[in-house]
Amino acid sequence: MGRKVALFSIWVGFVAYTIWLAPLDRADTWPLAQKLLTLQWGKLNAIIPVIFSLMGVWPMIYACLMFADGRMQNFRAWPYFIGSNFTGVICLLPYLIFRQSNQDFYGKKDKWLRILDRRSTGIFLLLGTIGLLAWVVLAGDWGNYVQQFQTRHFVHLISVDFALMCLIFPLTSLFDDDMARRGLKDSRIFWAVGLVPLFGPLVLSISACVRLYQKPVRHL
């Protein structure tokens, strides 16, 4: 219950913060968003498109846990996954708050689950993340980013959203349940993954070669 209260508090706080900042009514929001969506990244400080891209990596990390879990819930995971690609934690957190802890997996993995559970998927996400961060090191202007963080609300919000994606990963029981389904009982794995933002979950997705524990199909 304590975790759910913490997650709910984060969700309420961030929604209120977003409304207060009202980024969509700013003159510079849509030109910046257009450049990001149309891949005109050469016109931007490299740090901005990298954060924007990593906000697509995080939903995929959560998807690797959510879609197997969602089959055991009273509601599906895909609407929250799709929404999280556009609004980050605003759409992701309701799923994490209302899901019930479940450490079983019933039935067979469909094609989508097999893709998410492949080691190659984790490798692809990890290499993409390393490439993005290398671009930041080579071309990022941190002084300019700090200035934009302080003055451009869209940049400010996606940066805070990214930080919250990192923060809530160890707070949700989603990760605990996934470890239990795979037979991973060492608490050191939990802390090693949970306390290393972004790279902890990515490395686990590559190294966790244990199959999901499957039980006979039951009717939900």
Instruction: Tell me the pLDDT band of 208, cut-offs 50, 70 and 90.
Output: low
Contact indicator for 208, 116 with CB cutoff of 8 Å? no
What is residue 56's predicted lDDT score, i.e. its pLDDT? Answer: 92
What is residue 107's predicted lDDT score, i.e. its pLDDT? Answer: 65
Instruction: Tell me the pLDDT band of 219, cut-offs 50, 70 and 90.
Output: very low
In the chain, % of residues over pLDDT 70 = 92
The vertex-115 CA angle with 112 and 118, nearest 5°, equals 150
Q: How far, CA to CA in Å, does 115 sit from each of 60, 65, 119, 171, 196?
A: 11, 12, 9, 26, 24
Specify the amino acid at residue 200. G
At 91, give phi and psi (nearest 5°).
Answer: -95, -25
Average pLDDT, the chain: 84
Query: Using one digit for the tens of pLDDT, what is the confidence trace for 54-100?
Result: 999 999 989 888 887 767 778 888 899 999 999 999 999 999 999 88
Among 39-48, 193-202, 206-215, which is the least confidently predicted range?
206-215
Query: Using one digit for the tens of pLDDT, what is the confidence trace for 122-180?
Result: 889 999 999 999 999 999 999 999 999 999 999 999 999 999 999 998 888 888 887 77
Under 8 Å CB-to-CB from 19, ≥6 apart: which residues? none
Instruction: Tell me the pLDDT band of 198, cut-offs 50, 70 and 90.
Output: confident
Nearest to 182 by CA among 65, 95, 59: 65
Instruction: Tell me the pLDDT band of 217, cut-offs 50, 70 and 90.
Output: very low
Domain ranges of the chain: 2-207
What is residue 210's predicted lDDT score, i.e. its pLDDT? Answer: 46
In the chain, % of residues over pLDDT 90 = 42
